[in-house]
Structure 1
Amino acid sequence: MMDRFGATRLGVWMIKHVIAPLHRLLYRLSGGRLFASSGAGREVLLLTTTGRLTGKDRTTPVYYLRDGNRIILCNVNPGFERTNPWVINLRAHPIARLQIGSEIAEYQAREATEAEIDLYWPRLIQIWPAYESHFQKSGRRAIFILERR
């Protein structure tokens, strides 16, 4: 049910304006002990990017994949919204701070190559099926590979 809701306009709005801020707050307050997973194999981290215009830190909870030492992040535009700010910020300033559980570290980000997209896309869809429906509507996705500095 959550997968279908996340693919709707209302679901996207709720995630962005209600669920993500609450998730971020509880994740931080618990030192990463709460809400580091949202069930069904969905691991969550806190991604802190530097605002490309403001220079201020911006933090958002994001589902992720781990592949060895690499962290893979994905954002798919649903077609009825602007590009997610963390994507734009990461493109402008590719150094990010990740909190995974209680561990906080800096990572270097880069956009995935076509071969990496082919490799990770099926796994990303397993984590959050709404990625697929959003991509079918908009044709726009951003996949990043992050490696610890």
Structure 2
Amino acid sequence: MVFKFSFVRNPTRRIVSAFNNFFVDFKNKQHRRHLPYIEKFGFNTSRDNEYNFDIFLNYLTRSFEGDMDRIDPHFRPQFYNVRPDLLSYDFLGRVENLDRDMATITHRLKDRGVDLKMQPIERKNVSKGGYSPTASQIKRLEDLFCRDFELFE
């Protein structure tokens, strides 16, 4: 029997983290793939993060008009990444509770006869960018990611 699990993240934190990772810190190597396109929307490193986050939201809005399967998974709504309408998960954890939820998974697997030896959880690729969206930007996020907010907030 297969134990199906996945993890989701608070939608606002997830998208702000992606913005910081791709377009503030430039830590994600895939940022180069997006720069020529987001620059056409007006993104410019000489502008402040509030302006650029609005541009990022415009970029996402336009992207969502196309095929969701073609959108970078970092930007795509989590609903389309985990598809809870198609998969019945035994456990859907939260990144915000990663340590606790991994302990739950380990315990539930042990109950099924699987003794999982986990390495300590190490967070990698953590962005230093600390941009926080404005109230109007959060409203736009709630509209863009409405299904994620309904299911995963």
The structure with the greater share of residues assigned to strand is 1
Q: Does 1 or 2 have the higher relative contact order (CA < 8 Å, sep 6+)?
A: 2
Please give the TM-score of this superposition, normalised by the length of structure 1. 0.30
The structure with the greater share of residues assigned to helix is 2
